[in-house]
Structure 1
Amino acid sequence: MPFLGSAGMLISLVIIAINLSKGRRLAGRIITFGLCTIMALHLLLTLNIILMPYPAQVDRTKPAVTATWPLAGPTVVGWGGDSTHTNLPHVIWPSERWAYDLLMEPYSTGSTHFEDYGIWNQEVLAPVSGTVIAAYDAEPDIEPGSEDILSMEGNHVYLKMDETGTYLLLNHLRQNSVTVQVGDQVKPGDVLGRVGNSGSSSEPHLHIHHQRQNPLSTPHPILAEGLPLYFTGIDAEPMPEKGDIVLPLQ
């Protein structure tokens, strides 16, 4: 539908231009253009042509989850929050509407060496109690800044949460670092693996988000419904935003 809408937009613009040149009425053509724009909206969002969060309201989306912080040290929120200003790569997608990308100093160094990034090889801690439904770490980490992407999510651990029955996804883990297996029961603070640079990742970081649907049975990852994710036990707002420095409280 988005592609048909885009084609309709272009055709409508051509017809509107012709009608303008001939002095014809435009009301019907403008309505058609508006309908085609609505059809094309999601494509325009994902291409960043229209900068608008995927339609959802954090205070009306349930269930929300409050989790513990997945890293032990001071962390920089690379992307997070509820707006295009603080979370542009994520809020345009329904599945990643409230996702986070987490970093540690130093970051954005431009180096091609993993060890030049503070979050590289840091332990990833379970933020919630739940059951491991996916645990994968066979994918090689890619050189920072490269485009040698083998998958979107890379090495990962997915949890089905005891509290809500919804799902928490942690992506871009280091190859051969995952310490849990499918079926394991975990509680907050258990080690799941280590941060890497696998999948669609420009530099080592941890991606985490909450969604309603089981990621193993969803036809395509972006078709899931993203849900709010808050954090407790940190010296920051429960939903930290881009640029926030988060320190877990002891």
Structure 2
Amino acid sequence: MTFVILQVLVINLILPAVFIYSLWRGSFESKLEWLIQLLATTLLTVWVFLAGRWDWTGYYMRYAWLVFLAAAIYLSWRKTRSRPFRIAFDHKQKWSMGVCVVVLLVFGLYNVFVISSLTTQDDAIALSFPLKSGTYYVGQGGNHVQMNYHQAYSPQEYALDIVKINTLGLRAHGLYPKDLHQYEIYGDRLFSPCDGEVLETRGDLPDLTPPDTDPDQPEGNYVALTCDDEEAVIYICHMQQGSVAVAEGDVVREGQLLGTVGNSGNTSEPHLHIHAEKDGEGVPIRFGGRFLVRNNLMRK
């Protein structure tokens, strides 16, 4: 888990800081050098803004990088606007520009993947949002693995992992606390997203201490139900031990209590996992007409 924490810090903080600072403080002998650095920095910053996991370092902090980028562009242009467009570049300048071109191409491609993940042409199931007491953040969601690792697994395509954030935009008190009560979403009530029938439940597995997981029981405590007039099965997973409030065969109404958010099963921390599955393949979900992707918020 130390690697995950370092990865988040590098992507969210260190990478954009290095590139924006380099653009701001750089000494460019030509507009072409500046333009290549500008494009590389912009594409990297946009990717971090769209695809970073901002519930770890503060959701609203992502907007600060856009402000810093705009300031760096303005200040660096003031120093460069009198320079010629192109000069005879020395070896060091060519090397620096080559690195920036590679960054530009890589993060340009990454942004294409991110943009492609924001929508889907597949038919989606319309559900009501199952959480109702705060601001909820989509940590995994979308139509590409860049934004949603579930896309790599056919039965869980379009699955969503959802946490809750506080007024600072953080999902927990601390980067990765072991105390489950330090996570904002832990214990939040879960409600049926539709009228339907309960197909399966499990509720006796323990809530795990992060980073412990239970890959043998990946759903943890869960409710599986079908919605009226829909063939897909809706899975609501990782619920709190002893909290499941329905049983197999129960008929439920939209908004009826199902249980509470926990940390059971193959989960790294407390969150809601929800997905719809039909004939062994994942089906998109829309809440209030919205196809949710990473970094979307639902306020309830």
Give the TM-score band, short-chain normalised.
0.5 to 0.7
Give the deviation of 1:164 after TM superposition.
1.2
**What amino acid is the match of 2:137?**
V
Is residue 102 from structure 1 mapped to residue 154 from structure 2 by the alignment? Answer: no
Tell whether the 8 Å contact from 1:142 to 1:149 is kept in structure 2 after alignment: no
TM-score, normalisation: structure 1: 0.67
SS at match of 2:245: coil
Distance 1:140 1:166, change over 3 A: same
- The whole-number CA distance in structure 2 between the counterparts of 1:230 and 1:147 is 29
Q: Distance in 2 between matches of 1:86 and 1:148?
A: 24
SS at 2:147 equivalent: helix
2:252 aligned residue: 186
1:68 aligns with 2:128: yes
**Which residue is equivalent to 2:138?**
77
User: More helix by proportion, 1 or 2?
Assistant: 2
Aligned partners of 2:241 and 2:264 also within 8 Å? yes
Aligned counterpart, 2:284: 228
Deviation per CA, 1:159-218: give whole Å up to 9, x if none. 0111212210000000000001111111221110000000011100000001113xxxxx
CA distance in 2, matches of 1:79, 1:184: 30
Distance 1:141 1:150 in 2: 14
- Secondary structure of the residue aligned to 2:156 is coil
Equivalent AA in structure 2 for residue 107 of structure 1 = R
Residue 275 of structure 2 is aligned to residue 209 of structure 1: yes
Q: Distance in 1 between matches of 2:142 and 2:120?
A: 10
Residue 81 of structure 2 corresponds to which residue in structure 1? none
Correspondence for 2:152 among 89, 92, 98: 92
Amino acid in structure 2 at the alignment position of 1:241 = V
Query: What letter matches 2:144 in structure 1?
Result: S
The alpha-carbon distance between structure 1 residues 164 and 149, as it changes in their structure 2 partners (threshold 3 A), is closer
CA contact (8 A) 1:160 1:168 kept: yes
Give the total of aligned pairs. 178
- Matched residue type, 1:246: M
Instruction: Pick the aligned partner of 1:170 from 218, 230, 236.
Output: 236
Aligned with 1:142: secondary structure?
coil
Match of 1:135 among 201, 214, 227: 201
How many angstroms apart in 1 are the aligned matches of 2:160 and 2:213? 21
For structure 2, the residue ranges without an aligned partner over 5 or more in a row are 1-109, 114-118
- 1:19 match: none
Q: Which of 254, 259, 265 in structure 2 is aligned with 1:199?
A: 265
- What amino acid sits opposite 1:230 in the alignment? R
> Cα distance 1:147–1:186, how it changes in 2: closer, same or farther (>3 A)?
closer
Greater C-alpha radius of gyration: 2
CA distance in 1, matches of 2:243, 2:214: 20
Mapped partners of 1:151, 1:186: distance in 2? 25
Aligned-pair distance for 1:149? 4.5
Cα RMSD of the aligned pairs, angstroms, is 2.0
Percent identical: 31
Structure 1: state its 5+ residue gaps.
Answer: 1-50, 214-223
Q: In the aligned structure 1, how far is the partner of 2:251 from the partner of 2:284?
A: 23
